Amino acid sequence: MSFQETFKALSDPTRRAILDILKDGAKTAGEIGSQFDMAGATVSHHLSVLREAGLVSDDRRGKYIYYELNVSVLDQITGWVAGLRGEKRHEK
Amino acid sequence: MSFQETFKALSDPTRRAILDILKDGAKTAGEIGSQFDMAGATVSHHLSVLREAGLVSDDRRGKYIYYELNVSVLDQITGWVAGLRGEKRHEK
DNA sequence: TTATCATTTAGACAGATTTCGAAATGAGAG
DNA sequence: CTCTCATTTCGAAATCTGTCTAAATGATAA
């Protein structure tokens, strides 16, 4: 759940696409996986990277595991970028 | 200069540290390199990744090459994150 | 229990990434 | 032109990453 983990997680296009898919609500691993042309195991791996980075949370409901977007961690990213933009010249 | 290149470039801690160093103005490759405990060739490689991603620009002035932060590309990142945060439920 | 469905974990592999030292390039100074 | 300094490019080694198939786990249904 470190800063580095978050950036690393976002550096893969499949993982960013997963986050996009989760924009409008929680979905099961299967629903997410069906959107990609790759093995379910691979998508499962990407989901675990996103989970360890704190970008999604998972919730088992019976047979299914629902994944949901966790936006709060994204604020760190925005904050870091703002830091670069903000104090650009001669503050203090 | 693609979206993917930008995220990839930001996924390395050394490269993010370089951007931080450049926050308060342009610096030469040597000045940047002296802040890290790694070969100059390695830092030069990181600088080229940042340049290809459009995150920095370089400017040769005599013997030295000055690198400068290019903030405009960072807006893409902020924009993408805002997209995830924003339209979270039932728009349209 | 056994069968089946949803998903993850394990192990392996190819390709990408980070890093280095050494050689090459660019540019001013003598 | 030659020397030196700043930086990059080259080529290679070690490590990391994304992907696959096959096997394991969790949960429900019969």
Task: Provide the chain A residues 11-30 that lie in CB contact (below 8 A) with chain B.
Answer: 11, 13, 16, 19-20, 23-25
Distance CA A34, CA A44 (A): 12
Integer Cα distance of B35 and A15 in angstroms: 33
Q: Looking at chain B, how many residues does it have? A: 92
Q: HSE-up of B52 (CA within 13 Å, CB side)?
A: 11
d(CA B13, CA B21): 12
Task: List per-residue pLDDT tens for chain B, 92 residues long.
Answer: 799 999 999 999 999 999 999 999 999 999 999 999 999 999 999 999 999 999 999 999 999 999 999 999 999 999 999 999 875 544 43
Q: Looking at this protein, which amino acid is placed at residue B36?
A: F
pTM above 0.85, yes or no: yes
Q: Please, what are the averages of pLDDT over each run of 10 residues along chain A (92 residues)?
A: 95 98 97 98 98 98 97 94 74 40
Closest to B74 (Cβ–Cβ): which among A8, A23, A84?
A: A84
d(CA B12, CA B38): 14
Which is nearest to B83 in space by CA: A22, A27, A68?
A22
